[in-house]
Amino acid sequence: MNSPLGTRLSQSGRPKVWLTLAIILVLVLTLSCSLASGTDVSVQQTLAALAVQQTILAQQSGQNQQATAQAEQATQVAMEVQATLMAQQGTQMAQPTAQPPPPEVVVSPPPLQPATSPEPAVDLDELIKSAKILLYEDMAGTGQLELVQEALDMGGYTYKDDGSAMGWFKEDLLSGTKWNLIIAASERRTSIQGEFFVYLMDYINKGTAIIIEHWAIDDISQGKIAPVMAKCGVAMYRDWFVPFGIQPNLSVWFLKPDHPLFQDPNHGMSLRNFGNFWSTSQDKGDLLKLTGSGDAELLAGTIATSKSDHGTLVSCMGGRLIIQTHSSHEYSRADITNLYQNYIYYALKNHFLYTQ
């Protein structure tokens, strides 16, 4: 049985224990609040449980000294835990705050474009100088100047020369060679006709440049040459005939002096300086007229003011076909060779512009 004194002591010591426990509890709660933002929740719960446990032990113990010692021990544990937490918090504050990595910017490459190389510029002069040219000139073997051959040589062209051999000419026309230019110069009083114009028409339809010199179209105008003339847009106007005893006027006038055919590569030519080379013949050639079909242009004729008939020089098929019906040897050699060079250049230029 406890004595009243012991009771008083126990009762008087009990408030001190409660006060100590209350201080510990307040300390733990304060520490928990101050470190709540950065302290592990399990540590806070452990401190609270420890304080409650010590309170219960103090209540159950009847000995003031034991309760006081336990309270002091709890206080010491709380202080050590507080020091540990503060040290951890200081370490965390010393470490740089980890920043979230910046969002990765994905730059999509531009869509791939098909590899293209600029097309090289077409050098027309180079194409013209390297053209495949076939020549038939029936003045070969007569002992007279071959004016077309001379024009080709002076122009620096490479060509296949069949001379006046119609058999060779036919073979080359049927050889399958992709000729860029075919020249059929039939000035002599015997001439190509018939099937040759069928072959030439095939090349015309393929875009090949063609130059025809023929003095007797009137004799064959209803024959194989008719489709060529119809496609060109010209027809026979009349025969150029000079009766015996009359001094012939063989002047030919340029109807369009500024036309490119008269400018490049030569200019200043004239067909009014004439002789009478074919003096034994009254037939000096043929005169042509426009039909209104095709794209034919009369470029030269026997009457300077007549633009649609009396023609002896015509260009058509976009400049790829040239027909001459006056005889080259009636005029100045220099004028004819220069003019033929222009024919060749003009026809080839239009051929390559058409086929490229």
Each residue of 297-324: pLDDT tens digit?
999 999 999 999 999 999 999 999 999 9
**243, two tokens:** 């009766």
pLDDT for 21: 53
pLDDT for 244: 86
Q: What whole-number distance in Å separates Cα of residue 12 and Cα of residue 6? A: 9
Q: Which residues pair with 283 in a beta bridge?
A: 241
3-class state of residue 209 by DSSP: strand
pLDDT for 109: 57
pLDDT for 92: 55
Instruction: State which amino acid sits at residue 75.
Output: T
φ/ψ of residue 9, rounded to 5: -65, -45
pLDDT for 356: 85
3-class state of residue 322 by DSSP: strand
Q: What whole-number distance in Å separates Cα of residue 83 and Cα of residue 15? A: 28
In this prediction the pTM is 0.68
| In contact, 252 and 301? CB cutoff 8 Å | yes
Q: What whole-number distance in Å separates Cα of residue 259 and Cα of residue 319? A: 11
Q: What does the DSSP 8-state code read for residue 183?
A: E
pLDDT for 200: 97
Work out the end-to-end distance of the chain between its first and last CA atoms, rounded to an integer number of angstroms: 133
φ/ψ of residue 69, rounded to 5: -65, -40
Q: What whole-number distance in Å separates Cα of residue 221 and Cα of residue 224? A: 8
pLDDT for 70: 55
Q: What whole-number distance in Å separates Cα of residue 312 and Cα of residue 95? A: 104
pLDDT for 286: 96
pLDDT for 208: 98
Interhelix angle for 4-34 vs 41-60, to 10°?
180
The HSE-up count of residue 48 (CA atoms within 13 Å, CB side) is: 10
Q: What whole-number distance in Å separates Cα of residue 81 and Cα of residue 48? A: 12
Angle ∠(56,60,65) on CA atoms, nearest 5: 100
pLDDT for 22: 52
**320, two tokens:** 């790829």
**242, two tokens:** 């000079």
Residue (of 142, 141, 139, 143) closest to 151 by Cα position: 139
**9, two tokens:** 């002591």
pLDDT for 185: 97
3-class state of residue 255 by DSSP: coil
Q: What whole-number distance in Å separates Cα of residue 161 and Cα of residue 318? A: 26
| Residue numbers in the chain where pLDDT is lower than 70 | 1-121
Handedness of CA 219, 222, 225, 226 (dihedral sign): positive
